[in-house]
Structure 1
Amino acid sequence: MKENAFTARYGPAALVTGASSGIGQAFAHSLAERGCDLLLVARRGDRLQALAAQLASAHGVGVALCCVDLAHPDAIEAITKAAEAMDIGLVVSNAGFGLKGPHQDNDPAQMTALLQVNCAAPLHLTQRFIPALLQRGRGGIILTSSVEGFMGIPFSAAYAASKAFINSLGESLWGELQPQGIDVLALCPGSTDTEAHALQGIDPATLEGMMAPREVAELALKHLDDGPVYIAGEQNQAMFDALLGMPRRDALRQMADNIRAVLLPRKAQQ
């Protein structure tokens, strides 16, 4: 496939974690359409194999797979080994999950796994791949964060805290790497039409302004050089501009009241 401006800067290959569904799968489609070979990472090998076959057939790109669970600390070593023969120019650290409800009701093992997947994995993944990006003198890093990373979110304490970590990591790496030709973007979506809502006991019908995963991925790639932090969607931008413009105590009370009214009655019925 003929090299284009995108692959010249961020190719020839891209790494995507959490690629078996949602925004990660959308990134895989968008990058394959741009001509990037791919290293796709996720837990569910059957989904990865089906996706790889689809992308290779439709776009003629090479697709390698690494079936690992990022909740395990040794997953980063497996990803690094899988990438040894590839010239990775773009690292998309997308895998993550959330927990919704009163903080005291969270399962300790799940919180530990959340910290490993949402925080430790991106931290170590970027540390491993930055040297090669610097040697190339060009490339990019996308860290999938969330609008919840901009302030504490009642009844989403662990997830919001993990995404605040990602926003800070993205800003820090942008400051380090941008002068050396490496773009860094902390992508902050709002409500996105993925299976994550159902897994957290949330009815997607109660969420306003939900975006399609493909739209989020395309916006991220379009704004990759507009880092360090990017909110996907004008409605999400306007909502958090308003919240962050309020006294913090008022914003937190307003969010807590809104979430309490929707989330807690549903939890009580389960």
Structure 2
Amino acid sequence: MKKIFLVLLIPCYCLSQNNISTLNYDLIRTKGQFTFNADGILEIDSKNNISKFKLSQYVNLLKPDDFVKDITTENDSIKVVGAKKICQDDKIYYNDFKKDSTYSILYDTRCKSKVLIKDIINYPKWEIKNEFKKIGDYNVQKATAFINDRTWTAFFTNELGINGGPWKLIGLPGLVLEATATENTSTYEFRLTKINKNIECFEITKPYYKNQTTFNEFEKKSIERYKEQMFFIFSQVPGALVDEIDKNSFKLYETLDFIEKRD
């Protein structure tokens, strides 16, 4: 089991002192025999009731000059479709709990699809279980919730005096140390790896981006872009009858940025 490192930072002197914590998470995405890894950083301002989660692109998703990659094993056959330029910016999930507002910066694999989405906070409906265990040095309790078409199981602790969690895993009375969503051969898993407490002279900034839209519109355009990519690929097959290709018949892909259920 990976250990969680706690770091207590020496305060500095500044005009405005906030009790801010930063927490590092690993995100492990498995599908069949394939594994993708991303890094997450959660910033929590307990004084102003603000959190910000930054999630990197999957570090081993695609090489920058890949376009189409066929991956085949005995039990799995996956075609990964990418662009010449893979967006390396962080996805951002910012919550202002006092104002009940959330700001997200999302994209699919192409940087030009990057958008800012503003909405009200949608708290998961957690069911806290009477089940306990230890993760590292901390006693944790189990909770489950249905988030973005998946059932998530989280383990949280109230021993750190911090409430929060990565991505949309918010609203529990403690800090999420681990969380998993599994269906068939597909799994998402967050693991807390490092804690920095009581950081002062640090400000959590609200994200901004020029292109703004709603989540539903972003979801719709992401699906359409995928179908267009698949249509183009099939149309390049020698002898393909382009007029008979129905884009709506393409199996929906599994997004890696939590747009929706894709299995």
> What TM-score results when the alignment is normalised by the length of structure 2?
0.25
Larger radius of gyration: 2
- Greater relative contact order, per chain length (Cα 8 Å cut-off, separation 6+): 2
Structure whose residues are more often helix by fraction: 1
